[in-house]
Amino acid sequence: MVGSAISKQLSSLPGNQLVKLSHAELDLTNQPAVDDFFAQSNIDEVYLAAAKVGGIHANNTHPAEFIFENLMIESNIIHLAFKHGVKKLLFLGSSCIYPKLAEQPMREEALLTGPLEPTNEPYAIAKIAGIKLCESYNRQYGHSHGVDYRSVMPTNLYGPGDNYTEGASHVLPALIRRYSEAAKANKPFVVNWGTGTPLRELMYVEDLADATLFLMENYDGDSHINVGTGQDHSIRQIADLVAKAVGYEGETRWDQTKPDGTPKKVLDISRIESMGWAPKVALEEGIKRAVADFRNRFEV
């Protein structure tokens, strides 16, 4: 989803030649294969959006896969990009890097100041390692080799190309699939996990793509930078917006035996705002676009 949105924006700019390979063509956890790829390609810039991602259930069920695959992907790409002379690289992390009970909104300085949310700790640790890889290569090779690797921490993303797989998707695509299927089947009620009270910040993926290009050209800070909307909504509010967008008129029930996850997550985006960037797509409009994408892909 993220890679496609970034590629779309890069392709719209004159003079860019994109090098894109599918997972079937290049396994990023395979270091020799990644080494060969960089050796055979004339790469100037890298946008590292590849990752193994999923929601609470997937993170809880496959923690070893989440930490191993993400560590391998980012280690291979960042190190081998450096080895083959890539000067500019942008690494995409996640807002889950911040402590579970971090002061809200979460500032960049909150990193490593407290315990992480247990349900996605392995994934978060892998993303923190990616941040530190970028910082370390800049620190050691910035002056001597002209290395300029920066890390961007986006909030929860959604939009065209999202993953709607049952048991592996994030909260918004999971809700879109659930309510769409319930509307089609005329189900009298939908059951969602938790209490519906946790607060989440959501950003349309094309806004993130716009921010990554902006930051690649305008940000040279030594630390990571947050990208989000600066606004949050309860899961219950988000569910209501999804139900409205798909036309579902049944009842929503909440299974409080299931985990809620982090109680509140919203990013402090004052740093990127001070640079003159702001998101453009409001949540209700973004959800309408996401529902249209889901229907187009799955014919619901």
User: In Å, how far are 186, 239, 270, 290, 299 from 249, measured between CA atoms?
Assistant: 9, 12, 39, 19, 20
pLDDT value for 168: 64
Tens of pLDDT, residues 246-285: 999 999 999 999 888 778 889 999 999 999 999 999 999 9
pLDDT value, residue 119? 86
The domains located in the chain, with CATH, are 2-298 (3.40.50.720)
Span 197-217, pLDDT tens digits: 999 999 999 999 999 999 999
The amino acid occupying position 130 is G
Q: Whose CA is closest to 49, among 108, 98, 80, 93?
A: 93
Confidence at residue 166, expressed as pLDDT on a 0 to 100 scale? 76
> What is the rounded CA–CA span in Å between residue 268 and residue 131?
18
Q: Which residues are known to be catalytic?
A: 123
**Regions of the chain where pLDDT drops below 50:** 300
Structure tokens at 224: 């990571």
pLDDT tens readout for residues 162-178:
988 876 678 899 999 99
pLDDT at 283: 96
